[in-house]
Amino acid sequence: MTVTARPTPPELSFAGGFDPYVVRDDFPILSTTVNGKPLVYLDSASTSQKPNVVIEAVDTFYREYNANVHRGIYTIGERSTAAYERARATVARFINAPDAHEVVFTRNATEAINLVAYSWGRRNVNRGDAVILTEMEHHANLVPWQLLAQERDGDLEFIPITDDGLLRLDVFEVLLRLKPKLVAFTHVSNTLGTINLVAEMTEMAHAAGALVLIDGAQAVPHVPVDVQAIGADFYAFSGHKMLGPTGSGALWARRELLEAMPPFLAGGEMIREVHLRRSDFNDIPWKFEAGTPDIAAAIGFGAAAEYLMTLGMDRVREHERELTAYALDTLASELPWLELYGPMHADLRGGVVPFNVPGVHPHDVAQVLDRYGIAVRAGHHCTMPLHERLDLAATARASFNVYSVREDVDALIEGLREVVKLFGEPVR
Ligand code: PMP
């Protein structure tokens, strides 16, 4: 791997303001070509691209101090342990967690949610107990609860959505009369972009005696997240969607909950003392980090959090809000036949724009766009029940990140014009 030397935070040249064109220089992949065209990456909701500081952090780990953590009493082992724990502290600071030990490293958001479903869920959800979810959940915040409900004979209830993709909080209020054990919902929808009223919903759930898990996979990369201000009990997210390496994710939970929860996976690292017939477990968070973790990914995750904090999450949100407004306006005015879904006001949504070209399958749309170097996702985006609710077989989706610019939206519009040249002008 060739890695060019780059300034690292806090010396980044945009420190005083947010310039996405300067930010783009930090992402080497954005200067590559695909099918002879410059890459237009509009699939950041699946996974984000990585800045040089993250690539370098991973590269330096493997080149200079690769060693297991919490084991070796030798210099590079101590260095890797320190870097791993420093990354945890940085990620904790990024979400304003009160204590770095409340952050458990996982492979992704899916593992973080499964950890809670297996460990907390199997202890606390009993026959007839309700868990409330929403109709807009990603499968990662749906299937673990289905398995739990089947195993424990629990009950799943769902907050419905309006046709433009907002949660029906009036129905939530009624569902809370069931006295659920847990309410689990996404902070930002990966399909519609809807930004949910997480603090208000948490307060409502707590007033009914329920704990709250928030799936923050699509929130942490795009909006300022303060877990203390939100007040939730569990907050799950992915590092790889917030500019970190694949294999990085985290669960934040309140200390007393983590301390009371039994281990999720068992083996090395998560124990204090092992006898042939029983063991004592390690303190949090290591009790939940069995085996050798993805050390390089965690260190890269910390570098990504540091990078985003230097950009400033308020500025990141403002940039993406402005770009989403531009996308919604120009897509609707330039391509009047295009079907757009989700809340139509950028204040209510993150940088996720789902669409359909009437009469053309989204897979065909994505394939034609790819010829022009434009990467969008097509399919059900792991939200099959949401697509069913909206009576859609599939959608295409453009999604943004810090490095996305108006020219990406313009390229998408030109690409969609090529789609209709091939398949014929649709009528709405
Ligand atoms: N929740 C949401 C809202 C998501 O968008 C995703 C990823 N698409 C996930 C959970 C799962 O994330 P991961 O693949 O990192 O486990």
Split at pLDDT 50, 70, 90, the class of 57 is very high
Beta strands in 244-306 (DSSP E): 249-253, 271-274, 279-281
Q: Residues for the chain: how many in total?
A: 428
**382 in catalytic set:** yes
Segment 384-397, tens digit of pLDDT: 999 999 999 999 99
First-to-last alpha carbon distance for the chain, in angstroms, is 49
> What is the CA 86 to chain-centroid distance, rounded?
21
Q: How confident is the model at residue 281 (pLDDT cuts 50, 70, 90)?
A: confident
**pLDDT (0 to 100) of residue 10:** 38
Which among 106, 110, 194 is the best mutation to test ligand 1's pocket, defined by most ligand atoms within 8 Å of the CB?
Answer: 110
pLDDT tens track for 145-200? 999 999 999 999 999 999 999 999 999 999 999 999 999 999 999 999 999 999 99
pLDDT score for 270: 85
Distance CA 408, CA 419 (A): 16
For residue 32, report the phi and psi dihedrals to the nearest 5 degrees. Answer: -90, 165
Strand partners, 221: none
Higher per-residue pLDDT: 8 or 151:
151
Which tokens hold the place of 100?
């770095």
Query: Which pLDDT belongs to residue 13?
Result: 43
Cα–Cα nearest to 251, from 214, 223, 206: 214
Catalytic residue among 182, 308, 382, 405: 382
Nearest C-alpha to atom 6 of ligand 1 is from which residue? 217
Q: What is the pTM of this model?
A: 0.95
Q: What angle do CA 419, 425, 427 make, to 5 degrees?
A: 130
Is the predicted pLDDT of residue 370 greater than 50, yes or no? yes
Q: Determine the CATH number of domain 10-31+313-423.
A: 3.90.1150.10
Query: Where along the chain do its domains lie?
Result: 10-31+313-423, 54-310
Kindly list the protein residues whose Cβ atom lies closer than 6 A to any atom of ligand 1. 45, 108-110, 138, 140-141, 186, 190, 215, 217-218, 238, 249, 382
- Tens of pLDDT along 306-343? 999 999 999 999 999 999 999 999 999 999 999 999 99
Q: Which helix (H) or strand (E) holds 83?
A: helix 75-94
Task: Report the alpha-carbon distance of residue 171 to residue 231 in Å, rounded.
Answer: 22
Interval 66-96: pLDDT, tens:
999 998 789 999 999 999 999 999 999 999 9
The pLDDT of residue 268 is above 90? no
User: For residue 188, which atom of ligand 1 is closest to its CA?
Assistant: 3
Architecture of domain 54-310: 3-Layer(aba) Sandwich (3.40)
- Token pair for 286: 């290591």
Best of 142, 194, 218, 242 to mutate for ligand 1, by most ligand atoms within 8 A of CB?
A: 218
**Nearest residue to 425 via CA among 336, 346, 302:** 336
Nearest-angstrom CA–CA distance, 394 and 354: 10
336 Cα: distance to centroid of ligand 1 (angstroms): 31
Q: Ligand 1 atom 12: the closest Cα is on which residue?
A: 109
Q: Is the predicted pLDDT of residue 286 greater than 90, yes or no? A: yes
pLDDT of the residue at 428: 64
Contact yes or no for 324/350 (Cβ under 8 A): yes
Answer whether residue 126 shows pLDDT above 90: yes
